[in-house]
Structure 1
Amino acid sequence: MSTDTPASAGEPDAAQTITLTLAVDEEWWVARDEETGVSSQGRTRKAALDNLDEAVAGYHGEGREPTDEELRDLGIDPASNESGSVEDSEIFE
């Protein structure tokens, strides 16, 4: 779980400064890593921090591509799962 302690092997070198806020609806906790600007949420404080750990790891390039089976389990057709160039996207204009 995220803490303000120095990182261990395979993690960023600096300690993390995290802001943890209960959302206005009081149903979600929002966790934000101040160094990277990455945010995540969870129904509990622990869930928000665990989700933030995963999001920050992805920000730093960790992780792997999902398998075709994992995509199918999420209702995604692997044959239709294509990423295009950011320059070709209307969203990132």
Structure 2
Amino acid sequence: MARADAGNSDSPEREIRLVKNPDGQWTARDLRVGVTAQAKSRDEALDTLDAVIAAVEGDGGRSPTDEEIRDLGVDPEVARSQSDNLPDVLQ
């Protein structure tokens, strides 16, 4: 387990658990945000965790391109015309 205080004004303290799994992979979990990342090395797991946190907190990521949407087998125009309302079962 590793504990790090990040000098980020939004979160004065950051607690991260870093575990080496039996298969040799590393798992990093940010306890404040509640997200986890896994990778082949410690550094890669921590870098991936930072990227996940940035995406979750709105500081990272981007909208998919039309080509990326098509690669998933979805028509981009149909995807954009869908309502943002969640189905009742998901609300």
Offset of residue 37 of structure 1: 1.0
State percent identity of aligned pairs: 24
Q: What CA distance in whole angstroms lies between the structure 2 residues aligned with 1:17 and 1:89?
A: 36
* Counterpart residue identity of residue 47, structure 1: E
Residue 32 of structure 1 corresponds to 29
Where in structure 2 are the equivalents of 1:1-93 lying within 5 Å? 4-8=4-8, 12-26=10-24, 28-68=25-65, 71=68, 75-76=71-72, 79=76, 82=79, 85=84, 87-88=86-87, 92=90
Q: What SS class does the counterpart of residue 7 from structure 1 fall into? A: coil
For structure 2, the residue ranges without an aligned partner over 5 or more in a row are none
Q: What CA distance in whole angstroms lies between the structure 2 residues aligned with 1:12 and 1:40?
A: 21
Asked if 1 retains the 8 angstrom alpha-carbon contact of 2:5 and 2:15, the reply is no
Count of residues paired in the alignment: 86
Task: Give the CA RMSD over aligned residues.
Answer: 3.2
Q: What CA distance in whole angstroms lies between the structure 1 residues aligned with 2:76 and 2:4?
A: 42
Q: What CA distance in whole angstroms lies between the structure 2 residues aligned with 1:48 and 1:89?
A: 36
Greater C-alpha radius of gyration: 2
Structure showing the higher strand proportion among its residues: 2
Please list every run of at least 4 consecutive aligned residues from structure 1 whose deviation after the TM superposition is greater than 6 angstroms: none
The alpha-carbon distance between structure 1 residues 64 and 5, as it changes in their structure 2 partners (threshold 3 A), is same
The alpha-carbon distance between structure 1 residues 15 and 88, as it changes in their structure 2 partners (threshold 3 A), is same
Structure with the larger RCO, 1 or 2 (CA within 8 Å, 6+ apart) = 1
Asked if 1 retains the 8 angstrom alpha-carbon contact of 2:55 and 2:61, the reply is no
